[in-house]
Amino acid sequence: MGLTKHWSASGMSVETDRTYTGECVDCGSPLELYEIDFEKSRRIMRCTRCGLYHFYKKDFLGKWKLVKAGRVSDLWRKPSK
């Protein structure tokens, strides 16, 4: 895992550990954690360069498996009927 710099309210740079191993399926850049759901064993990661969202789910062995990748964050919302 790598460190990503973010700016705090005081104007100082703060490093957070949000970059995880994995590469974007489109451009090959590192991914950062966008959202995680422990109850459903799902996580959403975002490419640091192109912004592509990667949707992962845990398999029965407990490893993360890529389910799909998409450009907009609306992909993981259920369509209204």
| Edge-to-edge strand ranges of the sheet holding 53-58 | 2-7, 13-23, 30-37, 42-47, 53-58, 64-70
Per-residue pLDDT, 54: 92
The domain in which residue 39 lies consists of 2-72
Q: Let me know if residue 78 belongs to a domain.
A: no
pLDDT of residue 74: 60
Residue 22: what pLDDT?
A: 80
Q: Is residue 29 one of the residues assigned to a domain?
A: yes
Does the pLDDT at position 2 exceed 50?
no
Top-confidence residue, 18 or 63 = 63
Name the domain count of the chain: 1
Which amino acid appears at position 14 of this protein? V
pTM: 0.65
Residue of 27 and 73 predicted with greater confidence: 27
| 79: in domain | no
8 Å CB contact between 23 and 30: yes
Where in the chain does DSSP place strands (E)? 2-7, 13-23, 30-37, 42-47, 53-58, 64-70
